[in-house]
Chains A and B, each alone.
Chain A
Amino acid sequence: MGELVSNLSLGFGVALSFTNLLYCFMGVLLGTLIGVLPGIGPVATIAMLLPVTFTLPPVSALIMLAGIYYGAQYGGSTTAILVNLPGESSSVITALDGYQMARKGRAGPALGVAALGSFFAGTVATFIIALFAPPLAEVALKFGPTEYFSLMALGLVAATVLAHGSLIKAIAMVILGLLLGLVGTDVNSGVARFNFGMSELSDGINFVVVAMGMFGFAEIIANLEHREKREVFTAKIEGLLPTVQDIKDCVPAVLRGTMLGSALGILPGGGALLASFAAYTLEKKVSKNKANFGKGAIQGVAAPESANNAGAQTSFIPLLTLGIPSNPVMALMIGAMMIQGIAPGPQVMTERPQLFWGMIASMWVGNLMLVILNLPLIGLWVRLLAVPYRILYPAILLFCCIGVYSVNNQTFDIILTCVFGLLGYVCVKLACEPAPLILGFILGPMMEENLRRAMLLSRGDPSVFVTKPISAVLLGIAVILLLIVVMPAVRQKREEAFQEA
């Protein structure tokens, strides 16, 4: 306990320094600003704003990026409530009841509850990270290459199990991602692989290129398929504070949402999206008047909003302790850490305690800023929502292009992003989820490296993966997960859970 206090005070010391407060504030503000805009999710937002952080010191850069993430998350909810057009996938659920509340003239309380619920969830999740990250990192420090390989395999399997849509296609996307991650110079032999004779590819494909193409460009093209229809409640929103009855209704929902969200966020493939779906389903199950859901039940806003914020934050745990991303946003954070010259993994906590604890403390600070910032700024966000998409998307495209270019100052990267945009659009059409591909892409080189080392240590005996206890357990869990999903009953349930929306 004493250690926790000293760690957190170290963290707050870092997070509360003037410059870091400033970057946290800028991150939260920019994140919300772009998150509010419909049709651009957090992955594209972070990828787009990544270059802004290149010149910053590592701590500030990561604090700002984390701020952008939960800002975007929060902005997405505002859009969901006011326009019924979720800015990102994890607010799909919020749109169900939030929008109905707005139609009944209760947009204010819906926004208020979303903000306060998120803040509460964020506070709890911050403590959970502070409590559970150090022991987990300590365990992970003992991992050898064999365990790491199995851990990554488990992470990728879990990510596909929790993704929606066809399981085989999700696994195929992971493998395609792993393969794309191998493009570039092989560290062991120095051979440039799959570069088709192009020198630009010898350093590998930049992850910003993949993320921006598959998420940013593909999303824009898909959005342009149909003429947009939007009904924005630009009428004055008054009374952001929920009534006493609202609060009574919400407190249990927020508590349940926070718990569920924190737990699901830690799982690989989990994070905000799954958390909000699950919390809504749970709330509907336990509610006495189920009929209210979908018609403006305030619990239907409070639970998923708390859950997605809690999940968004606890998904940092596998990133910070194991160096393994659990969702595409975390994959981008890993990329950002690498650009800053930090090798993600358990050693971050011991070697760079300032960075580790500073980032954790900044999450709470960022959440506080979100509440303070958003309640008075709602009017501004509403006005932003009135900007038509035909104005927005050329601007988004330009910022994407500038962002991609500035990573390496290569125009080649911009063209490569188009290739991934095309691939992303094809994937949308063929119902292949892009998220598993990004995870595979980030883990590809690490997985190969650990496989090689493990096999070298075991003198080429692959049975080492099942004879070493930790590795065997990890792989066992992966196999069980796969088997469970393949079972017809569970499969149906899984589809139902995602259908609920």
Chain B
Amino acid sequence: MKIKAPKDFWAGLMFLAFGIGFAWAAQSYQMGTAVRMGPAYFPTMLGGLLAVLGLVVFVKSLLLSGERVSHFFLKPLLLVLGGVVIFALLLRPLGLIVATFALILVAALGGYDFRIREVIILYACLAVFAVLVFVKGLGLPFTLCPGALDEACQRIVAGSR
């Protein structure tokens, strides 16, 4: 069998997998009856429907020709999402100021024309902006600096209110 419509082929598989996955996972909950539906009833219905639709898309992709899947750009994908994950991991332990640096640096590596000086200036501006607007202005609770430094940082930010 030849794949004639790669975009639909993979989309069909994706829907099929999600459909079966949800329907299967739902089986650990109570099904109930049509009158008193349990937590498994609606997801099982939807999962089944999704799997059927996925199958239709999948089969169609083998019969009718369609578009090819364009190239996956791994560099921006990994570095943008990677930067965000690192930000999330550093935010609590090391604080907003350090986490922001990691995010900006890693994400900037994901684009074209990486210029280190520009990135550092951008970081400095964003860090000041974020602290002033979100922490001081809107009062969102953030750790600012790592460890013992944080208390001092918070006091400085709050003090200049």
Binding site for B on A (CB under 8 A): 51-52, 55, 166, 168-169, 171-172, 175-176, 178-179, 182, 186, 188-189, 191, 193-194, 217, 220-221, 224-225, 227-228, 388-391, 393-395, 397-398, 401-402, 405-406, 409, 411-412, 414-415, 417-418, 421-422, 425-426, 429-432, 447-448, 451-452, 455-456, 459-460, 462
Among A55, A394, A456, which residue has its beta carbon within 8 angstroms of that of B103?
A: A394
**A221-B49 CB under 8 A given contacts A182-B43, A395-B126, A429-B70:** no
Binding site for A on B (CB under 8 A): 7-8, 10-11, 14-15, 18-19, 22, 25-26, 29-30, 33-39, 42-43, 46-47, 49-50, 53-54, 56-57, 60, 67, 69-73, 76-77, 80-81, 83-85, 87-89, 91-92, 100, 103-104, 107-108, 110-114, 118-119, 122, 126, 130, 134, 138-141
Q: Contact at B11–A432, with CB atoms within 8 Å?
A: yes
Q: In chain B, what residue has the closest Cβ to A459?
A: B35
Q: Which of A191, A217, A397, A452 is most buried by chain B, counting CB atoms within 10 A of its CB?
A: A397
**A179-B46 CB under 8 A given contacts A224-B80, A394-B122, A430-B69:** yes
Bound state CA distance, A454 and B92, in angstroms?
A: 46
- Nearest-CB distance from A173 to chain B (Å)? 8
Among A179, A414, A447, A448, which residue has its beta carbon within 8 angstroms of that of B50?
A: A179
Q: Contact at A171–B53, with CB atoms within 8 Å?
A: yes
Bound state CA distance, A404 and B88, in angstroms?
A: 10
Q: Contact at B110–A224, with CB atoms within 8 Å?
A: yes
Specify which chain B residues have a CB less than 8 angstroms from the CB of A393 in the assembled complex. Answer: 80, 107, 111
Specify which chain B residues have a CB less than 8 angstroms from the CB of A189 in the assembled complex. Answer: 29-30, 38-39
Q: Contact at A194–B11, with CB atoms within 8 Å?
A: no
Tell me the interface secondary structure of chain B in the complex.
helix
List 22 A–B pairs whose Cβ atoms lie within 8 Å, in order of A's numbering: A51-B138, A168-B53, A169-B57, A172-B57, A175-B19, A175-B49, A178-B46, A179-B18, A182-B43, A182-B46, A194-B22, A221-B76, A221-B77, A221-B80, A390-B108, A397-B103, A397-B107, A398-B130, A405-B88, A414-B85, A417-B84, A462-B34
Bound state CA distance, A426 and B139, in angstroms?
A: 36
Specify which chain A residues have a CB less than 8 angstroms from the CB of B73 in the assembled complex. Answer: 221, 224-225
Specify which chain B residues have a CB less than 8 angstroms from the CB of A176 in the assembled complex. Answer: 15, 18, 50
Tell me the interface secondary structure of chain A in the complex.
helix
- Nearest-CB distance from B131 to chain A (Å)? 11
Q: In chain A, what residue has the closest Cβ to B92?
A: A411
- Nearest-CB distance from A404 to chain B (Å)? 9
Q: Contact at B39–A193, with CB atoms within 8 Å?
A: yes
Q: In chain A, what residue has the closest Cβ to B36?
A: A456
Q: In chain B, what residue has the closest Cβ to A223?
A: B76
Q: Which of B47, B56, B91, B140 is most buried by chain A, counting CB atoms within 10 A of its CB?
A: B140
- Nearest-CB distance from B27 to chain A (Å)? 12
Q: Contact at B107–A175, with CB atoms within 8 Å?
A: no
Q: Contact at B111–A397, with CB atoms within 8 Å?
A: no
Q: Contact at A431–B11, with CB atoms within 8 Å?
A: yes
